[in-house]
Structure 1
Amino acid sequence: MSDFQTDDDIVGKADGPVVPASGRTVISRKLRELYDTVQDEGIPDKFLDLLEKLDEAERNAGTSEAR
C-alpha cells in the first residue's frame, strides 16, 4: 500500500478506515503545523556537544588509521 492515498485508491477496499477528503485536509494541515513547529526549534546544547564529540572521535580515528 502506498504512503499517499487518493480517493481512487480506497474505492472498493475494506482493509482500513475511509477518511473523507475534508478529514485528510485537516490532518495534513495539522501535521504541517507540527512539522513547522519542530523545524523552528533550536538544537539542544547537549545534542550539539554529542555531535562535536562524534566529529572529534572520527577525526582521531582517521588520524590513527593513517599511521
Structure 2
Amino acid sequence: MSMFQSDQDPSDKGASSPSVPDSGRAVISRKLRELYDAVQDEGIPDKFLDLLEKLDEAEANAKASRG
C-alpha cells in the first residue's frame, strides 16, 4: 500500500471522511502559521542569490544576441 492510500476498504460506501474538530483545526492553523513565519524569516542563502544573478545575466545576454 502506498503512503498516500487510505487503509479503509474502498467498498465501504457508508463510511464518511474523517473530520477534525474546530479545536484541532485551530491548533493546525496556528502551527502552520508558525512554520510559515519561521521559513519566511530565514532569508535567501547567498548561493541562491548568486544563481539568480547568473540567470539574469544569461537571460540578458540571450536577449541581446537575438535583437
The count of residues paired between Structure 1 and Structure 2 equals 53
Unaligned runs of 5+ in 2: 1-14
Structure 1 equivalent of residue 59 of structure 2: 58
Structure 2 equivalent of residue 10 of structure 1: none
- CA distance in 1 between partners of 2:19 and 2:28 (Å): 13
Structure 2 length-normalised TM: 0.75
Q: Which runs of 4+ in 1 moved over 2 A?
A: none
Identity over aligned pairs, percent = 77
Unaligned runs of 5+ in 1: 1-12
Considering only CA atoms, is the larger Rg found in Structure 1 or Structure 2?
2
- CA distance in 2 between partners of 1:33 and 1:51 (Å): 28
Instruction: Name the Cα RMSD after superposition.
Output: 1.1
SS of structure 1 residue aligned to 2:33? helix
1:34-53 equivalence runs, <5 A? 34-53=35-54
